[in-house]
Structure 1
Amino acid sequence: MKKRFTVNILTVLTAVLFAACGAAPVEKKGPSAKTRDSLPLLFPQQRTRIVVMEAPGTVRYDSRNRAILPSRVAGRIEKLHVRYNYQPVRKGQLILEIYAPELVAAQRELLSVSNDPAMKELALRKLALMGMPETLAAEVLRTRQVRVTIPLYSNADGYILEESLAAAAAAPSTAAPAPSQGGDAMGNMGAAAPMAASAAPAPTQSPVMLREGQYVSAGQNLFSIYKTGRMIAEFALPAEVASAVGPGSRVLVSGNGMQGELKSAAINLLEPLYANGEKFSRARVYLNGNYPAGQLLTAYIPVLFREGSWVPVSAIVKLGKDNVVFRKEGADYRAVPVRIGARAGGLVQLFDEVQAIAANAAYIADSEGFIKPDAHPSSHP
């Protein structure tokens, strides 16, 4: 037993000794062991590329698809039946009741001359000119009862909004740039691209400012009713994308609550804007269907770029307003300013023809150094 144990120990020691003699020493190289000569170089080529760009957007009410609800008579609001803005209403629903002293006197005059056909006709015409509907005048004659208040009914199905707020809601607003993403033709979504997001505020159910006891004039617009079934979506496009699309361009729309479904639509209006030092365009798309106002949407827009080459984002270093690449010249790299365009799928559009540039510019750039690029990018090959 002891002899066998000794033999096993000798065998193990012999194997370890041979392994140590035959193995080469291993040298561990950290990131600092990498040299500039080992960096891959890029040789961009001009080519056409189809890129699927993403644009954020918001659902808004269509200001063309609304009904105005005016006051037909002058008087005092006796009873208000709506409490907050964007409250859903139905056609024929009672909105408010107005007490009009002049109409009360005109109704009594109608009842007093109802036996005289000529005077009766004149009294009915007077009531119509004062804003009283014919149906109510006929009811007064039938019941022989004077109506103290005149009702105002909704003239459409939709969401009611005070007229003082409707103008502000219909006016487009601008906001600061917000990030968005783009993808290439294979559906690969990549690095963020600067886009100006549409900041249409989501409708809030604020209390109605009209109060019972408030006086209104004849013909005064009190409410707007945004009809359901037709909405608009506004998307913000950067300048380089807006220049490649136009009215009639097809887009795919998706958003929250659509379970990943993509719906085809078309750009109906393209409006150039300038906000917070950035040029962009607002694309308006008319939607058919039940979309709640304020819903966030994303538009996928296929864009054909005919100019420029495409390089990885890692090859670009941003120096304030300028963008530079590092071109290899002999054993060194020189910073060369370039003009860039759209970003999509981790790539960036490069307009200047620069060859032999470093694929990883951040490795060459020294955070403690000063990069001084050449002054004329167009002069470089």
Structure 2
Amino acid sequence: MNKNILYIGIAALIGLLGGWLIFGGNSTEKDEAAMTETHDHSAESAEQMWTCSMHPQIMQPEPGDCPICGMDLIPAESSADGLAMNEIKMTKNAMALANIQTTTVGNASAGSENMISLSGKIKMNEEENAIQASYFDGRIERLNVNFEGQEVRKGQLLATIYAPNLVAAQQELITAASLKASQPELYKAVRNKLKLWKLSESQINSIEESGKVKENFPIYATVSGTVSEKMASEGDYVKQGQPIVKVSNLNLVWAEFDAYENQISEFKKGQKIKVTTNAYPNEIFDATVSFIDPVLNTQTRTVVVRANLKNNKGIFKPGMFVTGKIKSKSTSSEVQLRIPASAVMWTGERSLVYIKTNPNEPIFEMQEVTLGNRVGDIFMVASGLQEGDEIVTNGTFTVDAAAQLQGKKSMMNKSDGKTMTGHEGHLGMQNTGNETTSSSTMKMELPKTVQIAFQSALTPYLKMKDVFVAGDAQKVSSFSQETLEILEPVSDSDLGKMEQAHISKIKKMLKSINESDNIENQRSHFVVLNQNFIPIVKTIKGLNPKVYIQKCPMANNNRGAFWISKDKVISNPYYGEQMLTCGSVVDSLK
């Protein structure tokens, strides 16, 4: 009986165990199959792209190492925000911090506002200048002109001079006066001699009547005006004909404007120009064209247009900036789009702007444009934009930096997200000042002497770059001083405004690097130095040796920074050993 019960219990346990193995296992398999079917993201992961956190232009379909710096790739952010391929979105906070401003593209028609705007300066009218000179040898005993800018009147006493030759001539006059009855020709000759020294009849008669010799003689102003240059001092010995002061009549001044090559046909002598100045912004003054320079400035591609400007009230000061406007002679009714010069980025081959693609959101996309003539600070647009487009006019390079960091189409990145190489990777320069508009005419032109100086300066520059990599602030300062000493003699008198601005900034940054003993501070100046140094080096003909232009996108607070290297292998001067190989070659020069 007990054995039967035991056998039945064992059989029941075996039955339960078999049932669980049969039905429980199938349920688990079904659940796993259902979960696999529900959460299978294999297709999704196949579309996942991988990028480098330090080089976002790198995009690969599978994980691995960054080909530039060797870091592990990370999953790229998906475009779930609905942006197009090359659109970027900025936060409102970033917009405010970078002071990014936009403007709606307008048009200029010949019938509504067909004006040409020119920039210029007030200059002295050289036709009204007079040099007050000494008419005899002597020593200046007293000079009544104390400073430049002093007003003088015709007939005013300018100086008193002790003249030994005049002392002898006076003695001759006194002697000849006693003999004038017997030797009238001698008497007349002596008087004429004194007249040649600019002594008046009354002065000569006074000497003759008194019979006394005067040791000091006055010099009187022959014109009225303003002393523009003091050319002698009390106690100086002067020769006959030597200048003492330069007097300028400022009642009529010159307004000299720079006109571009394609604007020359708009000007002629006798033409009226409306002149305005920042000193009197609510007033408009009339001037008349008196001279058009027959020689073109090959550096700036401009000619000087000079206008006469009345200045009876003395409100125009030489050196003052002015703006001139004339009505264009063009009768074309063609409508042209126009944009501010500050909106344009120039890569050396292309002109670029950023368009706001969403009127309600800070979303931007780069657009290539073809520019026409430049009128003042306005560019005419031949193609690439439409009326009503909203473009970035302030903070353009900040928007471009954001596009670079996101691997989107930008000034330095091609449309496929890859970094430009070769001549496509020219450093961008914003159009300012009076630079011309097309890529051919906006390239800098440097005299041979300047090119030779920068070729020589490249040697200590490359040494400075290497010690930046090593982080040696003392040697950085030494090589910056050596570079500055080579470039210091470079004169900007024969250079265009763009070239002058670059070279001036280069000297300033080299001086700042030299005076600092903090490597991080030096590196911040090195960023600005390269922004100005590299465009100059790119203009050198017959550059030797071959060099590479390299870029680190993380330097300069993630805005990117460039440098020149003689080696193709990356050695980052902005981070040194911390990120020695971070960067890429964007151009090569030889």
The answer, yes or no, to whether TM exceeds 0.5 is: yes
Q: Tell me which residue corresponds to 2:255.
A: 233
Alignment of 1:66-215 (within 5 A): 66-117=129-180, 118=184, 119-162=186-229, 208-215=230-237
Alignment of 1:341 with 2:373, yes or no, is yes
Contact 2:231 2:243 in 1 (8 A): no
Distance 1:319 1:51, change over 3 A: farther
Alignment of 1:274 with 2:297, yes or no, is yes
Secondary structure of the equivalent of 1:135?
A: helix
Q: Tell me which residue corresponds to 1:300.
A: 325
TM-score normalised over the length of structure 2: 0.41
- In 1, Cα distance between equivalents of 2:221 and 2:110: 55
Secondary structure of the equivalent of 2:146?
A: coil
Contact 2:275 2:322 in 1 (8 A): yes
Deviations 1:294-318 (A, max 9, x none): 3332212223554975235399764
Deviations 1:314-356 (A, max 9, x none): 9976433433699xxxxxx998773522257966241x6x798
Distance 1:227 1:344, change over 3 A: closer
TM-score normalised over the length of structure 1: 0.61
Q: Tell me which residue corresponds to 2:286.
A: 264
Deviations 1:261-283 (A, max 9, x none): 212222222235437x4322222
- In 1, Cα distance between equivalents of 2:80 and 2:286: 49
Contact 1:160 1:226 in 2 (8 A): yes
Deviations 1:217-264 (A, max 9, x none): 223333322124211111223334444333333221122444612122
- In 2, Cα distance between equivalents of 1:261 and 1:45: 26
- 1:310 is aligned, of 310, 321, 336, to 336
Secondary structure of the equivalent of 2:147?
A: coil
User: Computing the radius of gyration over CA atoms, which structure comes out larger, 1 or 2?
Assistant: 2
For 2:409, the aligned partner's letter is D
Contact 2:119 2:376 in 1 (8 A): no
Contact 2:118 2:325 in 1 (8 A): yes
Secondary structure of the equivalent of 1:104?
A: helix
Contact 1:241 1:342 in 2 (8 A): no
Q: How many residues align?
A: 286
Q: Post-superposition shift, 1:286?
A: 0.2
Q: Tell me which residue corresponds to 1:329.
A: none
- In 2, Cα distance between equivalents of 1:243 and 1:122: 59
Q: Tell me which residue corresponds to 2:306.
A: 284
Contact 1:253 1:299 in 2 (8 A): yes
Secondary structure of the equivalent of 1:147?
A: coil
Deviations 1:78-112 (A, max 9, x none): 21111222321111111111111121122122223
In structure 1, stretches of 5+ residues that fail to align are 1-29, 37-43, 163-207, 327-332, 374-381
**Which of structures 1 and 2 has the larger relative contact order (alpha carbons within 8 angstroms, sep 6+)?**
1
For 1:293, the aligned partner's letter is K
Distance 1:360 1:256, change over 3 A: closer
Contact 1:325 1:357 in 2 (8 A): no
Deviations 1:46-77 (A, max 9, x none): 97564334333322211101223221111221
Distance 1:32 1:340, change over 3 A: farther
Distance 1:149 1:345, change over 3 A: closer
Secondary structure of the equivalent of 2:266?
A: coil
Alignment of 1:14-29 (within 5 A): none
- In 1, Cα distance between equivalents of 2:155 and 2:236: 23
User: Counting helix residues as a fraction of each chain, which structure ranks higher?
Assistant: 2
CA RMSD of aligned residues (A): 4.2
Alignment of 1:366 with 2:398, yes or no, is no
Deviates more, 1:144-153 or 1:362-371: 362-371
Contact 1:316 1:361 in 2 (8 A): no
Secondary structure of the equivalent of 1:114?
A: helix
Contact 1:57 1:297 in 2 (8 A): yes
Distance 1:346 1:210, change over 3 A: closer
Q: Tell me which residue corresponds to 1:9.
A: none
Q: Tell me which residue corresponds to 1:376.
A: none
Secondary structure of the equivalent of 1:278?
A: coil
Q: Post-superposition shift, 1:369?
A: 3.1
In structure 2, stretches of 5+ residues that fail to align are 1-78, 86-105, 355-364, 393-398, 425-590
Q: Post-superposition shift, 1:159?
A: 1.0
Q: Tell me which residue corresponds to 2:441.
A: none
- In 1, Cα distance between equivalents of 2:279 and 2:367: 48
- In 2, Cα distance between equivalents of 1:108 and 1:67: 33
Contact 1:113 1:120 in 2 (8 A): yes
Secondary structure of the equivalent of 1:260?
A: strand
Contact 2:373 2:379 in 1 (8 A): no
Deviations 1:6-27 (A, max 9, x none): xxxxxxxxxxxxxxxxxxxxxx
Q: Tell me which residue corresponds to 2:348.
A: 320
Distance 1:34 1:250, change over 3 A: farther
Distance 1:358 1:257, change over 3 A: closer
Contact 1:343 1:349 in 2 (8 A): no
Distance 1:243 1:316, change over 3 A: farther
- Identity across the alignment (%): 22
